[in-house]
Structure 1
Amino acid sequence: MDAKIMSFFDSVSSFFSGGDNIPWCDRDIIAGCEKEVANARNAENKNESLMRLSWALVHSRQTEDVNRGIAMLEASLDSSSSPLQTREKLYLLAVGHYRNGDYARSRQLLERCLEVRPYAVMLLYRKLMLCLLYNDGVIGIGIAATAVGLVVGGIAAAVARKK
């Protein structure tokens, strides 16, 4: 019962804090994927293992892991053998850039991904990205308006003191 209550409170706090539902990955999983790549016997198995490693890296909490996953995916994007594989790599690149806070680049990659082949999860992710970009824009406008107000108020106060 306590676990259900904690799960409920976690989901409510995630909703109000704007948390995402993209899974996280820890170092143990990444290490397992790296071993799998090293032990791959043929090219097909190695490609599948590299995709799993890329997935784990872009879902990591460590920025250096995310950047490594992005680099791996960008290097292998041109060698994709099918539209499905291209879509998966673009999606993982979008997740990596999202994790790094580069929402605009993430949205661009997601748009390219949807051009290759639309998918329901990606449409939901696109909606999340648009909301984040909108919120960042509104916050930026609020900060700029506050800064202008402070400058104008400072000038008005200085003029009032001189009189």
Structure 2
Amino acid sequence: MDKFGSLFETIGNFFTGGDQIPWCDGDVIAGCEREVAEASNGDSDERKNESIMRLSWALVHSRKNEDVQRGIAMLEISLGNDKSPLHQREKLYLLAVGYYRTNEYTRSRQLLEQCLEIAPDWRQALSLKKIVEDGIAKDGVIGIGISATAAGILVGIVAAALSRR
């Protein structure tokens, strides 16, 4: 149960304004998977859904890409099954975290924009959107640097070829 306490503390720290997106370890994921399995044995739909949301949260916050991908798949499947704006907002946000973790910044930003349509002043989504936009900008700068380097190499090759003539 200490792992669950750690999970909830991490979530609590994030909601209170931490700038870092928390990571989740395999022990917490395994605990959430056990909780989902237990909830599937006759518990109410609400308890099952809460367990699945906790597992989804843990998966998209994992350091392992395969866990993140599994969390994304679970959230995408469940997104259409729930019409509650609050649940939609949470699922969109978690999907955005997952796509951010997989460096799919454009998709993450799109999901955050949908999330912010539901809750325009949700600080958590606004913070992640800034992080995502910083990632997009960083990727753009890296892309420009790679293009400039490639152009420089090409110019060097052409110059070397012309000087040998």
| Range of TM-score over shorter length | 0.7 to 0.9
Q: Which of 130, 134, 139 matches 2:137?
A: 134
TM-score (norm 2): 0.83
TM-score (norm 1): 0.84
- 1:17-73 per-residue CA deviation (whole Å, 9 max, x = no partner) reads xxx711111111111111111111111100001000000011111111111100000
**Distance across 2 between alignment mates of 1:153 and 1:27:** 49
Runs of 5+ in structure 1 lacking a partner?
Answer: 1-19
Cα distance in 1 for residues equivalent to 2:113 and 2:53: 21
What's the offset of the Cα at 1:81? 3.3
Which residue in the other structure is 1:28 paired with?
27
Cα distance in 1 for residues equivalent to 2:59 and 2:144 = 34
Report the identity percentage: 64
Mapping of residues 4-153 of structure 1, within 5 Å:
21-40=20-39, 41-118=43-120, 119-153=122-156
What secondary structure does 1:24 align onto?
Answer: coil
Find the counterpart in structure 2 of residue 12 from structure 1: none
Deviation at 1:154, TM superposition (A): 1.1
Structure 2: stretches of 5+ with no match in the other structure: 1-18
Query: Hey, what's the Cα distance between the residues in 2 that align with 1:153 and 1:35?
Result: 60
The alignment covers a number of residue pairs equal to 143
Whole-angstrom CA distance in 2 between matches of 1:63 and 1:134: 23
**Root mean square deviation of aligned Cα:** 1.1
Higher radius of gyration, 1 or 2: 1
